[in-house]
Amino acid sequence: MPIPSTLRRARDTVEFETAERCAIREISNTPDDPAVSIARARVAPGVTTAWHRLRDTAERYLIVSGQGVVEVGEGLRETVAAGDVVSIAPDTAQRIHNNGDCDLIFYAICTPRFTPDCYEAL
């Protein structure tokens, strides 16, 4: 089934705080486009998000601004900054720490789209 042609404006979305210790703005996450979701994440300075994983869902972080340290699984622990992309395989533990002086902003792009039932706190 093809996706409908639409325009979604970020300004029409509402940012909300999560138990994971980051703020999320769902930019595009609808049942009519089940292949992908896009969310803007914001992590405050000094904050580390909670360990979690997404069942059966791959995720990419596209870092927009700020800096941090991302941890993925047991093998990846890297500093990230604007322009970096972190690819996270389905079912893999992950978290990110903002080690800068300003908000760490990144897009979380999930395939298939993120749904609350795929989220697992660790």
The domain that holds 114 is classified in CATH as: 2.60.120.10
Asked if residue 13 belongs to a domain, the reply is: no
User: In which residue are the tokens 């893999």 written?
Assistant: 92
Asked if residue 45 belongs to a domain, the reply is: yes
Asked if residue 68 belongs to a domain, the reply is: yes
pLDDT at 3 over 80: no
Residue 71, domain extent: 23-121
Asked if residue 14 belongs to a domain, the reply is: no
Given pLDDT bands bounded at 50, 70 and 90, which one contains residue 1? low
Asked if residue 8 belongs to a domain, the reply is: no
pLDDT at 9 over 90: no
pLDDT at residue 5, as a whole number? 86
The token duo for 40 is 């803007």
Asked if residue 53 belongs to a domain, the reply is: yes
Asked if residue 5 belongs to a domain, the reply is: no
Pairwise CA distance, residues 10 & 25, whole Å: 8
pLDDT digits (tens, 9 = 90+) for 74-120: 999 999 999 999 999 999 999 999 999 999 999 999 999 999 999 99
Asked if residue 110 belongs to a domain, the reply is: yes
Pairwise CA distance, residues 4 & 49, whole Å: 34
